[in-house]
Chains A and B, each alone.
Chain A
Amino acid sequence: MIIDVHAHWGPWFFTMDVARANLATMDRYGIDLAIVSATEAVIYDAPAGNRALAAALEGQDRLYGYVTVNPRRLEEAERDLREYLPTGRFVGVKIHTDYTGSPVTSPQMREALELVASFGRPALVHTWGRTVLDLAETCLAVPGLRAIAGHMGADGHRHAIEAARACDRLYLEPCWSHAPAGRFAEVAAAVDDRRLLFGTDATLIDPASAFGAVAAAGLTGETAERVAWRNAAELFDLDLTTT
């Protein structure tokens, strides 16, 4: 069993044609479930993307949704959270810092994360470099917030270690198009394995990158199981009895 906690649904603006590639991509790597955000929601129009994703998730049993929040449009965000989270098909919240011009340290991001915490669902937040430390700081400051550091800081994975040690409500997932040798192994050796998740960034990035990075770390036993699916199932409160 593998659960991908960082995936997307919809088209990308690059030279690629992957809008309908979710399940085939998952199947290539034995990924059973993925939690996806709509690319339209992340990149351009959150309500329109969330609405399209809600329709796409109907009748779908291998994809769960993130409600994407634009921190600059919190009224829209609250409306979407109230509409989609109770459906059970949306299990968390996605916030991208760059596309919305909202650094982790910005006032609107703080407000957005307080809103997410009030709904009791985890937030997947894009992190890069030292910004993962900012996310840990915000996580500590917002009661009840559970945050996933998307990309675990990418080239800032050592900051991610420090961040995860600072806040026990911060989780890490490794996806990145680059795969420096030993990156995930170093994180896995230094961070509580209950806070490690598996994410790929598919269908932007092929799962080869994250799968290979985790495989190279040589995890075994309970830790491997926690990374593969158990932590995700607990964090998102997923009912796996039907999968």
Chain B
Amino acid sequence: MTAVFSLSDVTLGYDRHPAVHHLTGSFATGSLTAVVGPNGSGKSTLLKGLIGRLAPLDGRLERNGLRQSDIAYLPQQAEIDRSFPISVMDTVLLGHWRTIGLFRPVTRAQRRQAEEALLAVGLDGFGRRPIASLSAGQFQRVLFARMLLQNCPVILLDEPFTAIDAKTSADLLRVVVGWHGEGRTVVAVLHDLDQVRENFPDTLVMARAPVAWGATGEVLRAEHLFRARQMAEQWDDRAPVCRRGSR
């Protein structure tokens, strides 16, 4: 089976302190993987490593033939200015960036696709609303509509359902499962373990180092989760130099 991302002994971190310590494994093409673990366990750092925003401190991380524009990435919301005067439709249309780029016009067909995407995430008729008027859940739906248009083979989601009500997260989860059905590779950081058990075939449990990685049923066991909680949050200012790995 081919892999989208192959990691061998990858360490990612900040200021030489590892946030993801010696991770080895691969995300198979077309797989649907949940990444779970306590806060501070390196889940977001892992996604930043996968899209290439953070270079590994050690080890090898290969994106097998993927271009930057093949990966859609939904960060935790911090960076978006939600008071910006832009309409829902214009936000969703940015999903066409690969074809419209800096200055090509949006075609009528592309506009229709955007309307269909809004319909698919349950925001039919919201096109003309300014994004400032949306609730957190509605705004997350807008970002999912934009990802639908991006039409990427690989999709990385960082806590997409945090602070979002059950109905919205159920709707958006259906979109995620749909992506899996279309053969796309999806990696999602999640906290709701029932949601993971029901919908995600594969799971990676993290606690600054990998605890377990494989089929969800095998991996999501009490002893793994307990170990993850114990191992997390051990930043040490005077940690010695790690001697494991390639260097």
On whether the two chains bind one another, the answer is: no
